[in-house]
Amino acid sequence: MNIGIIGCGVMGELHAQLAAECGHRIVACADTSRSKADGLAKPYGAEALEDGMSLTSRPDVEVVVINTPTPTHGKFIKAAAENGKHIFCEKPLGRTAAECEEAVKAAKSAGVKLFVGHVVRYFHEFETLKGLVEAGKAGKPGFVKTYRGGMAPQGEGGWFRDVAQSGGVVFDCSIHDLDWIRYAFGEVERVFCQTVHETQPDVIDYAMVTLRLKSGVIAQVIGTWAHPSGFRVKAEICGSRGVLQFDSAETAVETHMRKTASGDAPSVIVPGSPVDKSPYLLEWEDFTKWLSGKGEPRVTPEDAVSAVRIAEAALESAKTGAPVTL
């Protein structure tokens, strides 16, 4: 299918490469930075644009891929849906659950497919953990703990560091684990969160989210943008028969960082995997199969809404100091 990319930074480059690897054709690339649009478009022989909205109405585009700042996702999804385009949107789906519900409604009303990039569902390590839990290797799960993060990303204009726009580490980083815990252990009942957020002299964004699931499982999700460098992921599942553990620092998992032209902070950190087929490619293969009418994707639009709803509850809890019941 013909692909149009909106947002030509690190994630735009990644998704263009993966879409092409899955047999799609990149026909248009849009970014407010003309140089970024030109840079991504050239290798694919695509047209470069500065107006992402105009890309959504192009007759030669069948699928729109959205890699823009979180608060802009909704408007691009609605425009793409109104123009009959299928959609791949980077996580999180939106900045609020209400925005997400509107986006999903727009896609359903238009009869187009909306996929959201909750890629941790495709990471081999986390799929292995989920499989071991389902096989009863740890017995009945009682407690889950995850840790994810590194140095604070920057993004165009530093938008990641503006919590009002990005939702900070909870929305952009911990949301991976919030989604995966719901995927592996069931619905969340109550959310409590504590955060530390500083911008001077350096950005420090740290959050500890405690979840009570309807199944009775207690989960603790730690997200951090407080590392001086690098990126690390850890997971621990405690059950009645034993403990399952994963630590990216102790296994063969690589970390890839791409930096902006100026400054020490990365634009986006993309955790890698040493396997032959990356989880990002598995994600695109799943989306491609869905586009061709072969089955349902591992991530649904409703899953993406639920993840945002949990993240939103976490920020509300951090603000009020009280737990939030979903």
pLDDT at 256: 28
- Residue 261 reports pLDDT greater than 70: no
pTM assigned to the model: 0.91
Q: Are residues 307 and 185 in the same domain?
A: yes
Mean pLDDT of 21-30: 98
* Tokens (6 digits) for 38: 């030109």
Q: Are residues 134 and 243 in the same domain?
A: yes
- Residue 271 reports pLDDT greater than 70: no
pLDDT digits (tens, 9 = 90+) for 236-249: 999 999 999 999 98
Q: Are residues 78 and 138 in the same domain?
A: no
pLDDT at 255: 27
Among 323, 95, 320, 319, residue whose Cα is nearest residue 197:
319
The CATH number covering residue 35 comes to 3.40.50.720
Most confident of 74-78, 277-281, 292-296: 74-78
pLDDT at 320: 98
Q: Are residues 108 and 124 in the same domain?
A: no
Q: Are residues 141 and 43 in the same domain?
A: no
pLDDT at 164: 81
Of the residues 93, 117, 141, which one is the last residue of a structural domain? Answer: 117
* Tokens (6 digits) for 233: 């992921």
Average pLDDT, the chain: 91
- Residues paired with 318 in a beta bridge: none
Q: Is the model more confident about 48 or about 160?
A: 48
Q: Are residues 249 and 176 in the same domain?
A: yes
Of the residues 117, 151, 169, which one is the last residue of a structural domain? Answer: 117
pLDDT at 270: 56
**How would you class 56 by CB atoms within 10 Å of its CB: exposed for 0-12, middle for 13-18, buried for 19 or more?**
buried
DSSP code at position 115: E
- Residue 287 reports pLDDT greater than 70: yes
pLDDT digits (tens, 9 = 90+) for 97-124: 999 999 999 999 999 999 999 999 999 9
Mean pLDDT of 302-321: 98
Integer Cα distance of 94 and 69 in angstroms:
9
Q: Are residues 306 and 161 in the same domain?
A: yes
pLDDT at 250: 84
Q: How many domains does the chain have?
A: 2
Written as one letter, the residue type at 241 is R
The answer to whether position 142 is within a domain reads yes
Strands (E) across 240-301 are located at 243-247, 255-259, 266-271
pLDDT digits (tens, 9 = 90+) for 133-189: 999 999 999 999 999 999 877 767 677 778 888 899 999 999 999 999 999 999 999
pLDDT digits (tens, 9 = 90+) for 197-214: 887 777 789 999 999 999
pLDDT above 90 coverage of the chain, percent: 81
Q: How far is CA 22 from CA 59, 123, 232, 277, 321, in A?
A: 21, 18, 29, 12, 46
Integer Cα distance of 162 and 66 in angstroms:
20
Confidence grade of residue 257 (pLDDT, cut at 50, 70, 90):
very low
Q: Are residues 164 and 253 in the same domain?
A: yes
Q: Are residues 104 and 128 in the same domain?
A: no
H or E element at residue 66: strand 63-66
Which of 45-54, 219-228, 269-278 shows the lowest mean pLDDT across its residues?
Answer: 269-278
Q: Which residues of 19-45 are buried (b: 16+ CB within 10 A; e: fewer)?
A: beebebebbbbbbbeeebbbbbbeebe
pLDDT at 199: 76
The CATH number covering residue 224 comes to 3.30.360.10
Residue numbers of the domain that contains 14: 2-117
- Residue 323 reports pLDDT greater than 70: yes
Integer Cα distance of 246 and 237 in angstroms:
9
Of the residues 98, 117, 136, which one is the last residue of a structural domain? Answer: 117
Q: Are residues 105 and 183 in the same domain?
A: no
pLDDT at 253: 29
H or E element at residue 316: helix 301-320
